[in-house]
């Protein structure tokens, strides 16, 4: 059967994730029994998640709540949304009603739904360059035209943002939103500072634009208790915040959310029912009980200390072994980005590090929306053990010396 | 904030489910403490699902498999896909490799993904009239132009199908696929007979068209052990079968699948990663262990006997109390459709039955893609208890007599 003639024209916009190749190579090595040290993940450490607690929760939920195995409402399980309201107030400084929440298939699902309801082919999206690879793929396969804004060590470059907006408006383009990951940015590890948060909101207000605040890493903050969400500073309802418990419970539960209001909210809920019907009910019940019983305070905040230690180990190892290397010192999230010297290509370097030293990292290039970023690599510190972080950096340093 | 000017043009195609009103009214009555007998559900009976077994599985999975809390591959958890291959061979007569399977967010997710990859605005879709309301909404919000084919008591009307295809091709329309629910059709309860299955495949072959076979109710078959899936009879790879464990494990786990091949499969997998990343990992592990440990045979096949009894109770009640009523006698699925006499409007009748007698049913009209079906109602027998089925039909009969 030749399926080609049945494919939608817009399916031309679908491309394979540029990271698939990396993931395949890691899997192939592992399948041959090779021990691979991975600084390539995008997951939390499953050993820092209280899996025995989740196991007990899942077990009692399935026994005691018959409806835990059935559909939940498309906008989300009411019990979970009520707990989430309290959680968001406490940890994101966001005051919302349960009716403002749409529970989604993780943060990924939230990004796709927003793209689907907002983007027509050719609509402009302003995005940090680099940004999360799946967000780039999501908006592009929906026809979004991505325009990158420079990212500095303290977050998005405000001057560049302003001039980029002017340029696009002058060209007569329809800017649908500004997408940012202000805290623990993926892939760089950058966190937007408070003054620039204000400036970003002012610019959005000046040009009357929407902001999508991707708060995926908001619950992995190590050094800055005073980070405020854009949404908490937003007086004009122009920030749509998307969040997830992926870094708290684990990425596989697929529980995220969109906070918005009015017709945008109603359109998304109506659109969503024939897309996924609902986020997994068992996951929503687990999230509900986890928050309600205070396990976030009891377990997750301890896990954050451990992630902080891992971050410190990574930074110390890089500092000790590669004092000349340029990289971001993350105060939140799971990643740091490093900039390789002397025009070393991050793609080639990553491949060599894997094939020769069996250390997996992710090249930064696929996260850039243009031809820049060739010399970048992304290092994850959330998933590997401290020992693996040290050994991984040692081998990375070794390979880098071979280049010199 | 006026969100309207940011919405995509295609968001005009998004409408609220026509069943939302019904669902809201039921919820409103229940919230007032009213006991509502519901023959309106689309779920299995949570008391016929071995929830204690699922509880034990979930508990041991979360404890023993660290990766059960993390992302699984976008196309599905390999362990689950391997078990599913055996399951599909045994129960659907379908021979596939794990590589042909894409695990989705339930059957709903499968339908949406296929629509997204196949439909451009205005493309023709051939569909049974009536059909599943969420499928209608899914294809329409993606721009599909739906053309209905008459549904008889033994399935889709083959002559009508043939002439409808000819008509569309003569008009120069691009037919993307024929979507059918051949077994235990929602909302009617109709099952396509074997000769007409052959005829349907022949017509698809004659006109070189794709078929999407929605096998949502394949594991709720009561009287016909010899039903063969279209996919098992398909020698030309033109049938894309979508399935789900929603009726086995519960609708809330969100585990479904698409079986296809080649570029269509690759496009869907690539498109899917930035849409949902993966189906919930915990659900996939539960599904894997449930199938692997033989619980389908041990528990589900017993549940099917119970559903058969419920179906019998419904049919007997209808026969005893409403001997003149015209309705489908389902050999599979969860529903029957009844045709009210004397031009009684199903929407009005359903509302009155709920407000006056506190019995919830679903009007059939929202499942029709045209102006027909006004006198139809859908009755569910999977979720209510036998007592509730009897009482529900008694009250339905009472109201119907008041109309006469």
A276: which chain B residues are within 8 Å (Cβ-Cβ)? 105-106, 108-109, 112, 254, 276
End-to-end CA separation in angstroms for chain B: 53
Q: Do A15 and B68 touch (CB under 8 A)?
A: no
Decide if A20 is inside a domain: yes
A350 & A260 share domain: no
Q: Is the CB of residue B76 less than 8 Å from the CB of residue B102?
A: yes
B214 HSE (CA, 13 A, CB side)? 28
A289 & A306 share domain: no
A153 & A288 share domain: yes
Kindly identify which residue of chain A lies nearest to residue B265, measuring between CA atoms: A3
A46: which chain B residues are within 8 Å (Cβ-Cβ)? 66-70
A166 & A310 share domain: no
B1: which chain A residues are within 8 Å (Cβ-Cβ)? 210, 236-238, 261-262
A339 & A284 share domain: no
Decide if B62 is inside a domain: no
Q: Is the CB of residue A103 less than 8 Å from the CB of residue A75?
A: yes
B116: which chain A residues are within 8 Å (Cβ-Cβ)? 8
What is residue A294's DSSP assignment?
Answer: T
B110 Cα to chain A: minimum distance (Å): 8
Q: For residue range B20-33, what is the model confidence (pLDDT) as tens digits?
A: 988 899 999 999 99
Q: Do A251 and B277 touch (CB under 8 A)?
A: yes
B371 Cα to chain A: minimum distance (Å): 22
A108: which chain B residues are within 8 Å (Cβ-Cβ)? 274-277
Total domains in chain B come to: 2
B139 & B222 share domain: yes
- Cβ–Cβ pairs < 8 A, chains A and B: 271
Across the interface, which of A10, A176, A280 has its CB nearest the CB of B120?
A10
What is the rounded distance in angstroms from the CA atom of residue B260 to the CA atom of residue B209? 14
Q: Do A277 and B4 touch (CB under 8 A)?
A: no
Q: Say whether the peptide bond before residue A187 is cis (omega within 30 degrees of 0).
A: yes
Per-residue model confidence as pLDDT tens for chain A (404 residues): 899 999 999 999 999 998 998 889 999 999 999 999 999 999 999 999 999 999 999 999 999 999 999 999 999 999 999 999 999 999 999 999 999 999 999 999 999 999 999 999 999 999 999 999 999 999 999 999 999 999 999 999 999 999 999 999 999 999 999 999 999 999 999 999 999 999 999 999 999 999 999 999 999 999 976 789 999 999 999 999 999 999 999 999 999 999 999 999 999 999 999 999 999 999 999 999 999 999 999 999 999 999 999 999 999 999 999 999 999 999 999 999 999 997 899 999 999 999 999 999 999 999 999 999 999 999 999 999 999 999 999 999 999 999 98
Q: Do A46 and B56 touch (CB under 8 A)?
A: no
Bridge partners of residue A257, in order along the sequence: A103, A243
* CA-wise closest residue to A98 among A279, A267, A257: A257
Instruction: Indicate the burial class of A158 (C-beta count within 10 angstroms; 0-12, 13-18, 19 or more).
Output: buried
Q: Is the CB of residue A125 less than 8 Å from the CB of residue A368?
A: no
Q: Do B252 and A141 touch (CB under 8 A)?
A: no
A161 & A257 share domain: yes
- The pLDDT score that the predictor gives to residue B342 is 78
Element spanning B377, H or E = strand B376-380
Distances (CA, A) of B284 to A84, A137, A240, B298: 25, 25, 31, 19
Q: Is the CB of residue B308 less than 8 Å from the CB of residue B383?
A: no
- The pLDDT score that the predictor gives to residue A225 is 67
Decide if B55 is inside a domain: no
B239: which chain A residues are within 8 Å (Cβ-Cβ)? none
Q: For residue range B295-341, what is the model confidence (pLDDT) as tens digits?
A: 999 999 999 999 999 999 999 999 999 999 999 999 999 999 999 99
Q: Do B280 and A281 touch (CB under 8 A)?
A: no
Kindly identify which residue of chain B lies nearest to residue A8, measuring between CA atoms: B118
> What pTM value is reported for the model?
0.97
Decide if B59 is inside a domain: no
Decide if A276 is inside a domain: yes
Element spanning A150, H or E = strand A145-152
Q: Residue B94 is part of a domain; what is its CATH number?
A: 3.40.640.10
Last residue of a domain, one of A271, A295, A319: A295
A123 Cα to chain B: minimum distance (Å): 9
Residue of A54, A61, A70, A300 for testing the chain B interface, max B β-carbons within 10 Å = A70
Domain boundaries, position B113: 67-295
B204 Cα to chain A: minimum distance (Å): 12
Beta strands in B51-159 (DSSP E): 101-104, 124-129, 145-152, 155-156
A116: which chain B residues are within 8 Å (Cβ-Cβ)? 8
- The pLDDT score that the predictor gives to residue A404 is 82
A173 & A280 share domain: yes
Q: Do A277 and B254 touch (CB under 8 A)?
A: yes
Q: Residue B214: pLDDT above 70? A: yes
Decide if B188 is inside a domain: yes
Last residue of a domain, one of B264, B295, B326: B295
Last residue of a domain, one of A249, A277, A295: A295
Across the interface, which of B58, B59, B237 has its CB nearest the CB of A1?
B237
B261 & B151 share domain: yes
User: How would residue B404 be classed by pLDDT, with cut points 50, 70 and 90?
Assistant: confident
A202 & A346 share domain: no
Q: Residue B40: pLDDT above 90? A: yes
B209 & B277 share domain: yes
A78 Cα to chain B: minimum distance (Å): 12
Decide if A342 is inside a domain: yes
A9 & A114 share domain: no
Q: Do B253 and A69 touch (CB under 8 A)?
A: yes
A255 Cα to chain B: minimum distance (Å): 9
Q: Do B263 and A7 touch (CB under 8 A)?
A: yes
Q: Residue B35 is part of a domain; what is its CATH number?
A: 3.90.1150.10
Decide if A391 is inside a domain: yes
A256: which chain B residues are within 8 Å (Cβ-Cβ)? none
Q: Residue B132: pLDDT above 80? A: yes
| For range B88-104, the mean pLDDT | 97
What is the three-class DSSP state of B254? coil
B264: which chain A residues are within 8 Å (Cβ-Cβ)? 3, 6-7
Q: Residue B66: pLDDT above 80? A: yes
């Amino acid at each position: 059967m030749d399926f080609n003639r049945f494919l939608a024209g817009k399916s031309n916009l679908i491309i394979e994730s540029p990271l698939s190749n990396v993931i395949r190579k890691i899997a192939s090595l592992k399948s041959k029994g090779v021990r691979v040290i991975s600084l390539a993940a995008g997951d939390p450490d499953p050993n820092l998640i209280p899996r025995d607690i989740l196991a007990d929760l899942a077990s009692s939920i399935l026994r005691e709540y018959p409806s835990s195995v059935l559909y939940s409402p498309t906008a989300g399980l009411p019990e979970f949304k009520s707990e989430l309201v309290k959680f968001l107030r406490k940890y994101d400084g966001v005051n919302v009603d349960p009716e403002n929440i749409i529970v989604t298939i993780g943060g990924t699902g939230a990004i796709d739904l927003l793209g689907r309801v907002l983007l027509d082919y050719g609509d402009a999206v302003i995005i940090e360059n680099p940004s999360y690879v799946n967000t780039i793929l999501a908006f592009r396969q929906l026809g979004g035209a991505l325009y990158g804004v420079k990212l500095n060590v303290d977050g998005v470059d405000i001057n560049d943002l302003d001039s980029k907006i002017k340029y696009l408006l002058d060209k007569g383009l329809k800017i649908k939103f500004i997408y940012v990951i202000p805290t623990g940015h993926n892939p760089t590890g950058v966190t937007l500072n408070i003054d620039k948060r204000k400036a970003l909101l002012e610019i959005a207000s000046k040009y009357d634009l929407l902001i999508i605040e991707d708060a995926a890493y908001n619950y992995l903050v190590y050094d800055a208790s005073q980070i405020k969400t854009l949404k908490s500073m937003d007086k004009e309802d122009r920030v749509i915040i998307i969040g997830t418990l992926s870094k708290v419970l684990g990425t596989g539960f697929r529980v995220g959310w969109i906070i918005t209001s009015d017709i945008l909210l109603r359109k998304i809920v109506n659109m969503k029912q024939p897309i996924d019907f609902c986020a997994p009910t068992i996951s929503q019940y687990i999230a509900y009980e986890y928050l309600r019983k205070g396990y976030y305070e009891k377990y997750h905040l301890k896990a954050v200390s451990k992630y902080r230690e891992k971050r410190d180990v990574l930074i110390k190892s890089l500092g000790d072994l590669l004092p000349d290397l340029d990289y971001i010192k993350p105060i939140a999230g799971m990643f740091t980005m490093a900039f390789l010297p002397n025009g070393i290509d991050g793609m080639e370097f990553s491949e060599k590090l894997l094939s020769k030293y069996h250390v997996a990292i992710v090249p930064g290039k696929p996260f850039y929306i243009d031809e820049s970023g060739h010399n970048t690599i992304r290092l994850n510190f959330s998933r590997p053990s401290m020992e693996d972080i040290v050994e991984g950096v040692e081998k990375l340093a070794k390979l880098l010396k071979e280049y010199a």
